[in-house]
């Protein structure tokens, strides 16, 4: 089975340059072919960040992704958990853009069927009947403010001590108003979280626990300012 080719030659060039940039970062070689073939909304250093969180993040339990689309971010995390068999990734998405089949094809192409379990339903519905510990939640679903808040309210209670909550499109690098406002207000150091940070368009927060592990921020110092500058020129 092959990966569907999507978009114009410009999209293909962008994917290839994303893959090349990832190769310059530690661990990036492992996800380069995913970035080269699967379209989506994820900068290369974000893919590397997700890879390391999935590979080396603390705690045991599943990874929950809210909003998988074609599987670009899902597959980066799957590459991270390959050597860590206790972790499964639940790819929760009602696929409002009709991407369910494409996600399944991409999972098969990258031989990640034993690592990723797609669930085709809205995130809060999935959370209602949830019964297992979660060590990482990546929120990248509906970007309306109320929806981002509902995702956080539904999933933070399932996070293990030391687990990580990530909200995409919530920083000045490719931010959206809904996730950005919610991350600014909710992902703060206090009773819920003992460490917070940003990389690319991702805001992250760590649940208090035994672990002092922090994710590496490869590429942030160079790529974040570059993307912000390019965005400023275009708008």
Shortest Å distance, C-beta 93 to ligand SAM: 4
Question: Can residue 141 be called a binding residue for ligand SAM (CB under 6 A)?
Answer: yes
Say if CB 152 and CB 185 are below 8 A apart.
no
Question: Can residue 63 be called a binding residue for ligand SAM (CB under 6 A)?
Answer: no
Question: Can residue 93 be called a binding residue for ligand SAM (CB under 6 A)?
Answer: yes
Q: How far apart are CA 45 and CA 49, in angstroms?
A: 6
Say if CB 151 and CB 123 are below 8 A apart.
yes
Question: Can residue 42 be called a binding residue for ligand SAM (CB under 6 A)?
Answer: yes
Judged by CB under 6 A, how many residues of this single chain contact ligand SAM? 22
Q: How far apart are CA 145 and CA 170, in angstroms?
A: 11
Shortest Å distance, C-beta 109 to ligand SAM: 15
Output the residue with the shortest Cβ distance to ligand SAM.
Answer: 40
* CB neighbour list of residue 27: distance below 8 Å, 6 or more residues apart: 48, 51, 52, 55, 218
Question: Can residue 149 be called a binding residue for ligand SAM (CB under 6 A)?
Answer: no
**Which residue, among 32, 30, 110, has the nearest Cα to 70 in the 3D structure?**
110
Among 13, 29, 96, 214, binds ligand SAM (CB under 6 A): 96
Shortest Å distance, C-beta 190 to ligand SAM: 26
Element housing 62 (H / E): strand 62-66
Q: What SS3 class is residue 193?
A: coil
Binding residues vs ligand SAM (CB under 6 A): 40-42, 66-69, 72-73, 92-97, 99, 122-123, 140-142, 147
């Amino acid at each position: 089975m092959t990966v569907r080719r999507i978009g114009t030659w410009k999209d293909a060039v962008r994917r290839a340059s994303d893959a090349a940039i990832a190769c310059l970062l530690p661990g990036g070689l492992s996800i380069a072919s995913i970035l080269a073939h699967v379209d989506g909304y994820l900068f290369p250093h974000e893919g590397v960040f997700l890879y390391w969180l999935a590979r080396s993040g603390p705690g045991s339990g599943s990874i929950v992704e809210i909003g998988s689309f074609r599987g670009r971010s899902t597959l980066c995390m799957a590459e991270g958990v390959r050597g860590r068999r206790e972790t499964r990734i639940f790819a929760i998405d009602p696929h409002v853009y009709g991407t369910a089949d494409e996600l399944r094809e991409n999972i098969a192409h990258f031989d990640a069927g034993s690592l990723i379990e797609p669930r085709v339903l809205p995130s809060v519905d999935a959370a209602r009947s949830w019964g297992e510990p979660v060590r990482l939640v990546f929120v990248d679903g509906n970007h309306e403010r109320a929806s981002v808040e509902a995702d956080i309210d539904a999933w933070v209670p399932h996070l293990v001590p030391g687990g990580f909550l990530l909200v995409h499109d919530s920083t000045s690098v490719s931010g959206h108003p809904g996730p950005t406002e919610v991350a600014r207000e909710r992902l703060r150091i206090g009773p819920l979280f003992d460490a917070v940070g940003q990389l690319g368009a991702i805001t992250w927060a760590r649940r208090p626990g035994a672990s002092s592990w922090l994710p590496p921020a490869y590429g942030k110092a160079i790529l974040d300012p570059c993307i912000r500058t390019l965005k400023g020129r275009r708008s």
